[in-house]
Amino acid sequence: MRTQVAIIGGGPSGLLLSQLLHKHGIQSIILERKTKDYVLGRIRAGVLEQGLVRLMEEAGCADRLHAEGFTHEGTLISYGKEVFRIDFAKHVGTPVVIYGQTEVTRDLYAAREASGGQIEFNVEDVVIHGADTDAPHVTYNIGGEPKRITCDFVAGCDGFHGVSRKTIPENVRQEYEKIYPFGWLGVLSETPPVNHELIYSNSPRGFALCSMRHAQLSRYYIQCSLNDDPQNWTDNAFWEELKRRIPDEQADVLVTGPSIEKSIAPLRSFVTEPMRWGRLFLCGDAAHIVPPTGAKGLNTAASDVHYLYHGLREFYERNSSDGLDTYSARALARVWKAERFSWWFTSLMHRFPEQTPFDLKMQMADLEFLRESTAAQKAMAENYVGLPY
Specify whether the CB–CB gap between 143 and 122 falls below 8 A.
yes
Q: Identify the CA nearest to 49 among candidates 289, 386, 335.
A: 386
The active-site residue, picked from 200, 220, 309, 327, is 200
The active-site residue, picked from 136, 221, 292, 350, is 292
- Is residue 292 part of the annotated active site? The answer reads yes
- Is residue 310 part of the annotated active site? The answer reads no
Specify whether the CB–CB gap between 284 and 156 falls below 8 A.
no
d(CA 253, CA 367) in angstroms, rounded, equals 25
C-alpha distances (whole Å) from 320 to each of 132, 136, 218, 311 are 19, 19, 46, 8
C-alpha distances (whole Å) from 171 to each of 81, 153, 157, 167, 174 are 51, 22, 22, 11, 8
- Is residue 137 part of the annotated active site? The answer reads no
Question: Buried b vs exposed e over 236-263: b needs ≥16 C-beta within 10 Å?
Answer: eebbebbbebbbeebbeebebeebeebe
Q: Identify the CA nearest to 267 among candidates 205, 334, 188, 207.
A: 207
Quote the distance between the C-alpha of residue 216 and its chain's center.
23
The active-site residue, picked from 22, 91, 288, 296, is 296
The active-site residue, picked from 72, 91, 137, 288, is 72
C-alpha distances (whole Å) from 125 to each of 98, 161, 163, 170, 223 are 36, 13, 9, 20, 36
d(CA 379, CA 50) in angstroms, rounded, equals 17
- Is residue 200 part of the annotated active site? The answer reads yes
- Is residue 296 part of the annotated active site? The answer reads yes
- Catalytic residue numbers, as ranges: 72, 200, 292, 296, 384
